[in-house]
Amino acid sequence: MDWRNWRLPVKVAAVLLVPVAVAVGTGVLQIRGYVVRADSYAAIGKLVTLRSALTPLITAVQDERAHQAGRVDGTPPEANAFHERGAVTTRAFEVVRGLAQDPATSLGDVASSRFAEVTTQVNGMPQLRQSIDAGSDVSVSVIAYTTVLRSMLDFDQALINEFGDAALASTGGALHHLQMAGEQLSLQHAVLLSAVSRGRVLDSEVVALDQSRLRYLDRISDFAALATAEQRDLRTQTVTGRDVLARDRMVQDALTTVATADEPDPPSLESKVPAGEWVTASRATDALVNKVLVGLEGELADTVATLQDETSDQAGLISTILLASLLAAVGVGVVFGNNMIRSLLTLRRTALHVAQHQLPELVSDLREEGASEVVIEPVAVHTTEEFGQLARAFDAVHQQAVGSAVEQARLRGGLRNTFVNLSRRSQGLVERQLRLMEELERKEENPQQLANLFKLDHLATRMRRNNENLMVLSGTDVTRRFSKPIPLADVLRAAASEIEHYQRVVVQTTPQVEVVGYAASDLVRLIAELLDNATAFSPPRSHVMIVGRPRNGGGVVIDVIDEGVGMSPADLEAANVRLRSVDADELPATRQMGHFVIARLAARHQIEVTLADQGPHRDGLRAVVGVPPDLVRTPRDAAPTVVDAPPPVERRAPVVPSARPRPAGNGVAPATNGVAPATNGVVPAGNGVRPAPAAKNDDGEWSSFRGMAVDDTDPAATTRSVWFKGELPTGEAPRHRLDDQAAPAPRPDGVAPDAAPAAGSEVELPKRRPRGNLVAGRPGPEGVAPVRRDPNATRGFLSSYQTGIRQGVRDSGDHRPAQENP
């Protein structure tokens, strides 16, 4: 419900909602007012219709009154004509009552009361007619009819008062006053007609005529005050003529026939007011007045209908305007809202595309192709208002980000080149150090000093691995590569020889598979980093186990198991994340550099590396290395040849009786499976197999034959050199005869087999060729073709070498259990 988190269309709708709601509310109220007024005009129309129906009723009663006034006192009027007029009155009243009782006709309280009086008077008219039929007095009958007509006129006044509109009220008032004036004329007609029938005018009749004339003039004045000019002209032009003037003259003459003190014998009424002329003139005048009444009633009905139509039209017009306004507001809101939303969506889409695709792809291209000038594509919002300004601001930010990425790419490239240069320089120094130690090892005769030199040699090898790790982190391939497949056991032993505590590593049984040459060196480094961590974080006297097993679906799985302190779940998860990290620009922490090296090497060959806890009842961690099937293969023969193989499991400082052996060359022999656990790669005694010692090849690399199991039953292994037996003559170089060894095959790296023994010849130990295999595919420094050593000959030679070392340790008296395998 937080309005700040509403979507933009909702906010735009909310902004438009208040004025639209006000406009709609006002319009609805105005429309409702017009509708109410139209309904009121419809109700007034019903009242006008009722008022128009009342005029024939009044006229019928007036005609009935005049008809009975023409009889002589004491005599009834002519029956048929009188009863016919009574029937006309009854029918006219039924029409009025039907309209008054119509549910659509809304009568007020006053009008309802007046209509009740009319109903009472009309219901009493049958008795009045009966009295007239019985010969009642004419004056009394005239007064009775006048009373009935007064109730009807009062009802007419009540109807006029319910006209709410001013125009209708004025016209209705003028119509009522004219109706009252016509009643006075009708009353005069009845009174004077009864006097003419009698032959004289009674005093009461004189008073009635005189008062009627005054009331007539008052009603005409009231009519003139309320009527419009057109209505006044209509009456003036209609109620005129010879009959009107004759009637007025006869009324004046009738008043002169009354006897007074000044004129006791006035003229007769019949001479002044002939009965026929009076009836004709009086009825003609009444007809003219009724004509004006009918015209005013029609005008009133038209006015009501016009007002109703106008009000309805205004309601419809307001509704149309309101609807048009709403549509216009919605249209404007949609147009402007869509424009804003489209601009924002373009900005959002561009920003997301830049953040999720363009910048990462640009950074990736910069990593691969190097720094270059990049021109960004501006956001497709080209307006000059705030959204356009925001788009230009984003373009500036994008350009700055791209510039920063280019600058960082240049910096990364410079740092990478610097690291690679420093690594290569350091690697060159290490190689020189190794050559120097080679010279020292050749000349050293003291076994203790020779052991120290071997230790320095091993430290230099570890320094070379660190340099190679720096090259891996810098994104550069290292130069040491194998050209042919390497047995998995040799790979694991080579990895063990790359670490400081190689004595604690135990290589157990591995599958009879080989690792392809281009991946073998990286796998050696990967396993070496895992072993380095495992030995560093486990007790000093504990062993680190390496187990190889087939993998479901092909390939192999290598388990590195230690008995160390382990890791917390959070640290374990973080370590696995680092092992899966392939971001070449992420700077690794010093303590976790090995994890990033493993991640780079694993990503290079799609190798899966995972750290897992060994459970609540076992200490330490298990590193699981999944090698894909395309990196391993089944050997084609029983003794595959390995070129530049990795180093062995164990290397100990040799102690010899008198002279020192020179390090072995880079001839290799295949690893022999069947190595038992917890023996540091040595098969238990009794099976005729014992481990071979450690040495380096001429390129400063660990030879794969060191630490491999050697069969004592092999004829080549039974041959012993006098050098190992301590029987070398004084001043004579240590040499060894391998009478039953086969000639070695040429090496693929182009290095001549200067130390390879031939059949029936005495040869020295193989010499190291510094930088002989520094760059993959590069020939040796002398440009000679490499040779391949016979694995059986090498196995026998090294078996003799290790036997001499052990014998020297036992004879020295300084033998400790940790110096050799159990």
Token pair listed for 277: 């002329």
Tens-digit pLDDT profile for residues 118-146: 999 999 999 999 998 888 888 889 999 99
- Phi first, then psi: give them for residue 520, nearest 5 degrees: -65, -45
Per-residue burial over 696-712, b = 16 or more CB atoms within 10 Å of its CB, e = otherwise: bbbbbbbbbbbbbbbbe
Side-chain-facing half-sphere of 268: CA atoms under 13 Å: 8
How many Å apart are CA 13 and CA 268, to the nearest integer?
Answer: 94
The pLDDT assigned to 275 comes to 86
How many Å apart are CA 632 and CA 513, to the nearest integer?
Answer: 6
Q: What is the DSSP string of 95-150?
A: HHHHHHT-TT----HHHHHHHHHHHHHHHTHHHHHHHHHTT--HHHHHHHHHHHHH
The pLDDT assigned to 556 comes to 94
The pLDDT assigned to 616 comes to 79
Radius of gyration for the alpha carbons in the chain, expressed in angstroms and rounded: 66
Contact 441, 456 (CB under 8 A): no
Contact 658, 808 (CB under 8 A): no
At residue 629's C-alpha, the angle toward residues 624 and 634, to 5°, is: 110
Tens-digit pLDDT profile for residues 2-49: 777 888 788 878 888 888 888 888 888 988 888 888 888 888 888 889
Q: Which of 515, 417, 427, 514 is nearest to 479 (CA)?
A: 427
Please list the ranges in the chain whose pLDDT falls under 50. 638-673, 675-788, 814-822
Per-residue burial over 597-631, b = 16 or more CB atoms within 10 Å of its CB, e = otherwise: bbbbbbeebebebebeeeeeeeebbbbbbbbbeeb
The pLDDT assigned to 122 comes to 93
Beta-ladder partners of 690: 710
The pLDDT assigned to 716 comes to 33
How many Å apart are CA 635 and CA 231, to the nearest integer?
Answer: 129
Q: Give CA 208 to chain center in angstroms.
A: 95
Alpha helix (H) residue ranges in 444-516: 447-473, 488-496
